[in-house]
Every structure is written in structure tokens, then in C-alpha cells.
């Protein structure tokens, strides 16, 4: 059994960033368990056609490792993954990884005040665990009658089957969200026919992405401070979306007008336009940006199906109106398990309950989106209500990394064996957060989305400016925690 002071689970942007910062602070007794064969997380896994980031490139990097090599204002998947891999090499943390290592269990040992972790590569113990498994890592598969009887190719967008050639095939895309908005235009011209099954229409805004010119890339690399200036300007601009989402949702009507004009220009058929028009406030669901989606949906060889799916048969899909459509392959763009993560079923806290059992009984919450009562010495990256849907999550990740590092330093300085946030502190924090959420577009906007849990509460997003989240995590507030001193100090 291997013991480490800090054990990190997952090597996406959160896990890798934590490992790098630990190394920079002089910590060496840590390990990263990664079930994949490389770093990168969602940017390693999502290799579907058209995969790209909807956050501007200059904002989508670590603050301590800006990337002057971006070729576009919105970067494609391969370029982002290349950046992440390069960062792992630059900061020399690959040797701290165990790849192909999947965690199967994690439980708190109250007697020894440490975590016991089971994996397919043996057992580990750790004083501190950082869960960085990611929010968009476990595919959500639809519960559709007959889906397991389909005899053609079927796969989730995040598990793209590159051995399957879709050229000349009849393809169905189930889902019309962010991944579908990139996949549909990317494959439409090569398949024989494409059916897009839309449950809920989406607001689609213009995409202002472009390729950087040679002199711009030269300037990014050689003009001191230029990239940070651009990054700051983009950050400030993105923060304005908070006004539309949480402060004054009614103002979203201005962006809705832009979206409606865009749709009217690109979709001439009034009946199709009607089916593509949302009946909820913009921002209630994730906003899409695309200049190719609507032109693709008006093609003669592409059909938008909005009647719902009744069942899937061996070689066809039957919609609720009884229409049966022949299909050779199905692509599931059905999102991820965000508010019912399988990882929650693996972690067992101090009282023996799993995180999933605790959340089922008490609701989903986390103090500062990072720690949960009953789970000592455990930190969750991008935990409940720490997400953003308007700017770079890396800003949130780095805020949490700072909090974790300060917690580790505080434990060392004060001789603490364990820290566990007090239940009353967490409950009070959650209550204030929900009150702040009450007037947000996610609650009043008139839609359902993956932001909401089974009880209809937004358990995913942070309802304020991102810089205020960073302010809350600026220091580790040990006074909000129940603490246990090291055994050696007790005996002394």
C-alpha cells in the first residue's frame, strides 16, 4: 500500500493545475491518479468533428502559463490538448502521474485520520485528497425504449468512434446542445442524410471566431504584457454576462433580439424557424455560438425532428408522431452526468455514507464549491455551484487551487491532522447562495437544463461575478472548520 501526503484524482485542467502548483510550492509527496492514458481530461476525450472551445483562447489558459501559440480566437480541441500536454512537460509533473489508474473506492479512516483509496492498480492512503475528476467526464445516456436493440453504430459524442466511417450513411444526432451544434455542421456534407433530434430549441448567437494573422501571433510572443492586456479585456467583457444572468435577466432581451435577427436571416422557412425558436429567456440554458448550425439545418439532406423519440428499433428511430426513419448510425449528444456524478457513489465520508447518499438525503451543496461536511481533508475541484457558463472555468479552478494550497499550509503551520468544514457553516453558505440565485435567469427563465438537480435547484453554477468567488477563496478560513491536531502534539 502506497501512502502520499496529497493524492489528486484526475488530470484534466484542475488536477494538472493542482499538481503544478504543489510542485511550484516545493511539495513532492503527492501523486495524480488518472484513468486515461494522458493528461487533458475533457480535451483528451472529446475528439468529435468540430470540437472546439466557446471561450476565447486568451482566457483559456493558466494565468501562470499563457499561450502565445494560439492560432485562432476560439481554439479547436486538438490545439487545447496540445497546450495542456505541453504544460505537463514544461513543469515536469508527468512522473507524478499514474496513468490507466481508475479509482474504485475512497473512504475516510477516522482512526488514522486519512483516506484509503482503492484502484485497479492497487491501494493507496493519503492525508489529503483532491478530487479533480471533472464535471463533463461521465456521459449521460438517454433512457429510450429499444436503444439497446439498435443494430447499427451508436456512440456518445465524448466517446467518438473514429473507426466508424459515416460517409454515405444515414445518421441521427440525438440532442441539440453545444456538442451537437459543432458536430452537425461538421458531418452534414459527408453523410447521405442527417436527422437532428431536438428536444428543446436553443438560443444561438453569432460566432466571431477567426484565425490570427502572422503579425498578431508574433506580437503575442514578443510584445511584453500584450497578451495579459488582451486577456484582461476579454475577462472584463465576459463578466458583463453576469448582469444578464443574475442581476437583471430582463436585459437578455437585447441578445435575444440579435439571436432572432440571426435566425430570420439564416432560416427562411417560417415553420422551421418556429421550431427553432426557444420559449425561455436567453441564458437559462447554455448559450450557443455558431455561424454554421442554421445553414446546415436548412439543407435538403438534413431534417430537424422535434416531435420526441418514441422508440429505437434495429435500424430505425420512431418519433412520437409515429414516423419511422431509417438510420445506420446514432450519435448521442445527450450531455453528461453533472448532478448525479458516479464519483459521488465512490467517496465514503466520516459516517460511512457515500457522497451520493448524503446528497440524496440532504441536497447537493458544498462550502465555497470546494469542501463538504462529513468529508475531512477532501477538496472537490469544480464542486457544486462553482461552475460558470459565460467565461473560463480555469479562473475558478485557480481560485480553488489557491484555497487548497493555503489549507495545506495552514494545516502544517498549526499542526493539524484533519480539517472538516462545520455543517452549520456549509448550510448557512448554501442558504445565502440559493437566496442570491432566486432572481437569476436559471430559476426565472422558464427552462429546464443540466444546471438543475432532480429537485429543480441550480446545483451547478456560481450566481455572481467570478472575481467575487475568488475573493471568497482568497484564504483558508480555518475558523469555519472542525480541526483535529496531530497525534504527536496530543501526546506532547
pLDDT-derived band of residue 249, with 50, 70 and 90 as boundaries? confident
Percentage of the chain lying above the pLDDT 90 cut: 91
- Name the DSSP letter for residue 100: T
How many CB atoms are located within 10 Å of the residue 413 CB? 9
Helix 393-414 crosses helix 13-24 at what angle (to 10 degrees)?
40
- Name the DSSP letter for residue 37: S
Q: Model confidence over 265-305: pLDDT tens digits? A: 999 999 999 999 999 999 999 999 999 999 999 999 999 99
Q: Model confidence over 72-111: pLDDT tens digits? A: 999 999 999 999 999 999 999 999 999 999 999 999 999 9
Cβ–Cβ under 8 Å, residues 325 and 193: no
- Name the DSSP letter for residue 140: P
Smallest Cα–Cα separation from 91: which of 35, 52, 132, 39?
39
Q: Is the pLDDT of residue 490 over 60?
A: no
What secondary structure does DSSP assign to 117-137, as a single string? EEETTEEEEEEEEEE---SS-
Cβ–Cβ under 8 Å, residues 320 and 307: yes
CATH class belonging to 2-138+337-491: alpha beta
At residue 180, the pLDDT reads 98
Helix 214-222 crosses helix 226-239 at what angle (to 10 degrees)?
100
CA dihedral 303, 308, 310, 315 (to 10 degrees): 20
How many CB atoms are located within 10 Å of the residue 214 CB? 7
Question: Distances in Å between the alpha carbon of 68 and those of 55, 176, 223, 291?
Answer: 16, 33, 10, 26
Q: Model confidence over 224-247: pLDDT tens digits? A: 999 999 999 999 999 999 988 888
Q: Is the pLDDT of residue 488 over 70?
A: no
Percentage of the chain lying above the pLDDT 70 cut: 99
pLDDT-derived band of residue 454, with 50, 70 and 90 as boundaries? confident
Q: Model confidence over 315-338: pLDDT tens digits? A: 999 999 999 999 999 999 999 999
Domains 2-138+337-491 and 147-210+217-230+240-332 equal at CATH topology level: yes
In degrees and rounded to multiples of 5, residue 310 shows phi and psi of: -85, -45
Question: CA–CA separation, 44 vs 475, rounded Å?
Answer: 32
When comparing pLDDT for 457 and 157, which is higher?
157
CATH architecture of 147-210+217-230+240-332: 3-Layer(bba) Sandwich (3.50)
Q: Is the pLDDT of residue 141 over 90?
A: yes
- Reported as half-sphere exposure (CB side, CA atoms, 13 A), residue 383 has a value of 23
Q: Is the pLDDT of residue 158 over 80?
A: yes
In degrees and rounded to multiples of 5, residue 473 shows phi and psi of: -105, 20
Q: Model confidence over 108-133: pLDDT tens digits? A: 999 999 999 999 999 999 999 999 99
pLDDT-derived band of residue 487, with 50, 70 and 90 as boundaries? confident
Q: What are the residue boundaries of the structural domains of the chain, listed by start?
A: 2-138+337-491, 147-210+217-230+240-332
Smallest Cα–Cα separation from 462: which of 451, 454, 477?
451
Q: Is the pLDDT of residue 492 over 70?
A: no
Pairing of strands 153-156, 329-332: parallel
Q: Output the 3-class SS for 391-427.
A: CCHHHHHHHHHHHHHHHHHHHHHHCEEEEEECHHHHH
Q: How many residues does the chain have?
A: 492
pLDDT-derived band of residue 5, with 50, 70 and 90 as boundaries? very high
Q: Model confidence over 410-453: pLDDT tens digits? A: 999 999 999 999 999 999 999 999 999 988 999 888 998 889 88
Question: CA–CA separation, 123 vs 105, rounded Å?
Answer: 9
Question: CA–CA separation, 288 vs 390, rounded Å?
Answer: 11
Return mean pLDDT, the chain. Answer: 96
Exposed/middle/buried for 322, CB within 10 Å: 0-12, 13-18, 19+? Answer: exposed
Amino acid at each position: 500500500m502506497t501512502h502520499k501526503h496529497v493524492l489528486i484524482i484526475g488530470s484534466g485542467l484542475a488536477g494538472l493545475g493542482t499538481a503544478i502548483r504543489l510542485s511550484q510550492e516545493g511539495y513532492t509527496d503527492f501523486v495524480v491518479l488518472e484513468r486515461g492514458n494522458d493528461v487533458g481530461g475533457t480535451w483528451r476525450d472529446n475528439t468529435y468533428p468540430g470540437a472546439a472551445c466557446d471561450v476565447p483562447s486568451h482566457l483559456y489558459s493558466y494565468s501562470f502559463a499563457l499561450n502565445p501559440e494560439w492560432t485562432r480566437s476560439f481554439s479547436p480541441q486538438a490545439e487545447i490538448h496540445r497546450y495542456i500536454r505541453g504544460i505537463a512537460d514544461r513543469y515536469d509533473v508527468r512522473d507524478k502521474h499514474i496513468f490507466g489508474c481508475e479509482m474504485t473506492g475512497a473512504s475516510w479512516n477516522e482512526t488514522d485520520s486519512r483516506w484509503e483509496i482503492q484502484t485497479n492498480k492497487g491501494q493507496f492512503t493519503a492525508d489529503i485528497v483532491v478530487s479533480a475528476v471533472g464535471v463533463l467526464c461521465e456521459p449521460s445516456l438517454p433512457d429510450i425504449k429499444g436503444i439497446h436493440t439498435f443494430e447499427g453504430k451508436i456512440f456518445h459524442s465524448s466517446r467518438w468512434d473514429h473507426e466508424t466511417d459515416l460517409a454515405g450513411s444515414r445518421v441521427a444526432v440525438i440532442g441539440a446542445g453545444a456538442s451537437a451544434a459543432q458536430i452537425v455542421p461538421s458531418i452534414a456534407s459527408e453523410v447521405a442524410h442527417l436527422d437532428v433530434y431536438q428536444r428543446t430549441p436553443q438560443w444561438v448567437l453569432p460566432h466571431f471566431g477567426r484565425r490570427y494573422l502572422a503579425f498578431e501571433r508574433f506580437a503575442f510572443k514578443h510584445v511584453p504584457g500584450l497578451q495579459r492586456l488582451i486577456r484582461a479585456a476579454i475577462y472584463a467583457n465576459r463578466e458583463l454576462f453576469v448582469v444578464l444572468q443574475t442581476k437583471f435577466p430582463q436585459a437578455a432581451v437585447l441578445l435575444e433580439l440579435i439571436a432572432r435577427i440571426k435566425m430570420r436571416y439564416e432560416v427562411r422557412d417560417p415553420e422551421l424557424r418556429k421550431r427553432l425558436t426557444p420559449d425561455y429567456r436567453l441564458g437559462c440554458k447554455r448559450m450557443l455560438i455558431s455561424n454554421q448550425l442554421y445553414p446546415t439545418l436548412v439543407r435538403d439532406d438534413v431534417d430537424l425532428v422535434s416531435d420526441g423519440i418514441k422508440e429505437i428499433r434495429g435500424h430505425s428511430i420512431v418519433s412520437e408522431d409515429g414516423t419511422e426513419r431509417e438510420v445506420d448510425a446514432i450519435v448521442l449528444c445527450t450531455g453528461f452526468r453533472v448532478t448525479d456524478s458516479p464519483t459521488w457513489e465512490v467517496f465514503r465520508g466520516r459516517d460511512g455514507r457515500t457522497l451520493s447518499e448524503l446528497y440524496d438525503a440532504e441536497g447537493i451543496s458544498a462550502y465555497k464549491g470546494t469542501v463538504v461536511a462529513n468529508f475531512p481533508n477532501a477538496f472537490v475541484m469544480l464542486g457544486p455551484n462553482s461552475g460558470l457558463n459565460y467565461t473560463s472555468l480555469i479562473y475558478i479552478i485557480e481560485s480553488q487551487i489557491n484555497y487548497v494550497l493555503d489549507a495545506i499550509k495552514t494545516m502544517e503551520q498549526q499542526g493539524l491532522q484533519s480539517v472538516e468544514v462545520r455543517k452549520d457553516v456549509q448550510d448557512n453558505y448554501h442558504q445565502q447562495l440559493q437566496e442570491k440565485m432566486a432572481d437569476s435567469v436559471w430559476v426565472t427563465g422558464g427552462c429546464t437544463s443540466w444546471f438543475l438537480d432532480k429537485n429543480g435547484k441550480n446545483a451547478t453554477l456560481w450566481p455572481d461575478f467570478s472575481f467575487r468567488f475568488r475573493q471568497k477563496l482568497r484564504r483558508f478560513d480555518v475558523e469555519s472548520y472542525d480541526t483535529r491536531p496531530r497525534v504527536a502534539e496530543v501526546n506532547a
